[in-house]
């Protein structure tokens, strides 16, 4: 299998996977969503809450806040030297103390580590005048298969589009050019050319518009375009790398069991 980066922008990355097959592509997608560990709030101790949201709802909202994760420094609680009691190697304790009137955001949660901080800009609760909130939250490593709050982002893939024009049948009528919703086809010197094939969504509108049946649209099942969009807990490339590591770990376990 070969992997190439097509596009990188902010929290998302577009990858091209070559010399693969659909089961590999799907295994990678599933591993990225459900096997890659990230930090998320698992326990909340509420000392004071006079906001309009009751404690359970607030704790649920806190649980869904993505937290920047450094996998090299953190252990799973049950695998940690503290034997699950919770220590600095497996538990990140965040604190929050706010008084209204104001909107409390995810970045108001104070982290003891400047590299392990909540992703900014997520509103948690609106406090009225004099309303107070004081709490402590413990974030631990987990996996998306256990709870969606540990998913590192969203991942999708599509088969690499292949659009072929049969030059003998094509009358250069231009129907397909008008039919393409993404405007990827152009008429040039009496023949149809495809521009930016990777943006094709395989909708087949061009093939349906062609009365001569000169166009064929198919997906190449050995090449896949992945779109990985991180929620901020891990860089998008790291999500892919970590998923590969998780798959190889599983394979090694399988070999040792056999």
Interface with Zn ion by CB under 5 A: which residues?
A: 80, 82, 87, 89-90
Distance CA 107, CA 66 (A): 11
Q: What is the Rg, in whole angstroms, of the alpha carbon atoms belonging to the chain?
A: 25
Least distance to Zn ion, CB of residue 82, Å? 3
Quick one: DSSP state of residue 186?
Answer: E
Cβ distance to Zn ion smaller for residue 5 or 82: 82
Q: Which is nearer to Zn ion, 93 or 216 (CB)?
A: 93
Give the nearest distance from C-beta 39 to Zn ion in angstroms: 13
Find out whether 12 and 231 touch, Cβ atoms under 8 Å. no
CA 118, CA 99: separation in Å to the nearest integer? 20
Q: 102 - beta bridge partners?
A: 127
- Per DSSP, what are the bridge partners of residue 132? 99
Question: Which is closer to Zn ion, CB of 90 or CB of 185?
Answer: 90
Instruction: Tell the smallest beta-carbon distance from residue 73 to Zn ion (Å).
Output: 12
Query: Least distance in Å: CB of 150 to Zn ion?
Result: 17
CB 111, min distance to Zn ion, A: 17
Nearer of residues 44 and 80 to Zn ion, judged by Cβ: 80
Measured between alpha carbons, how far is 35 from 151 in angstroms, rounded to an integer?
A: 8
Q: Min. distance of Cβ 246 from Zn ion in angstroms?
A: 21
- Who contacts 184 (Cβ-Cβ below 8 Å, separation ≥6)? 163, 194, 195, 196, 197, 199, 200
Closest to Zn ion by CB, 20 vs 140, is 140
Helix or strand or coil: residue 93?
strand
Handedness of CA 133, 138, 141, 147 (dihedral sign): negative
| Residue for token pair 């509108």 | 205
**73/249 with CB nearer Zn ion:** 73
Are the C-beta atoms of 182 and 199 separated by less than 8 Å?
Answer: yes
């Amino acid at each position: 299998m070969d992997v190439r980066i097509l596009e990188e922008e902010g929290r998302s990355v577009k990858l091209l996977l070559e010399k693969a097959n659909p089961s590999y592509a799907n295994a990678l997608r599933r591993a990225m969503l459900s096997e890659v560990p990230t930090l998320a709030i698992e326990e909340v101790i509420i000392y004071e809450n006079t906001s309009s949201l009751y404690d359970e709802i607030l704790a649920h909202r806190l649980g869904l806040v993505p937290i920047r994760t450094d996998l090299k420094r953190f252990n799973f609680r049950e695998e940690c030297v503290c034997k699950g009691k919770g220590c600095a190697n497996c538990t990140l304790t965040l604190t929050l103390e706010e008084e209204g009137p104001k909107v409390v955001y995810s970045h108001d949660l104070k982290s003891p580590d400047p590299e392990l901080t909540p992703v900014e800009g997520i509103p948690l609760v609106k406090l009225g005048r004099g309303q107070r909130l004081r709490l402590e939250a413990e974030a631990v490593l987990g996996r998306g298969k256990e709870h969606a709050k540990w998913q590192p982002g969203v991942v999708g893939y599509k088969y690499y589009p292949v659009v072929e024009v049969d030059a003998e049948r094509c009358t250069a009528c231009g129907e397909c050019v008008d039919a393409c919703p993404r405007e990827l086809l152009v008429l040039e010197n009496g023949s149809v050319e495809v521009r930016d094939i990777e943006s094709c969504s395989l909708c087949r509108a061009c093939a349906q518009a062609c009365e001569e049946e000169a166009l064929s649209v198919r997906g190449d099942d050995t090449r896949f375009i992945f779109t990985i969009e991180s929620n901020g807990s891990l860089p998008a490339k790291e999500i892919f790398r970590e998923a590969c590591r998780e798959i190889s770990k599983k394979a090694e376990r399988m070999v040792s069991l056999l």
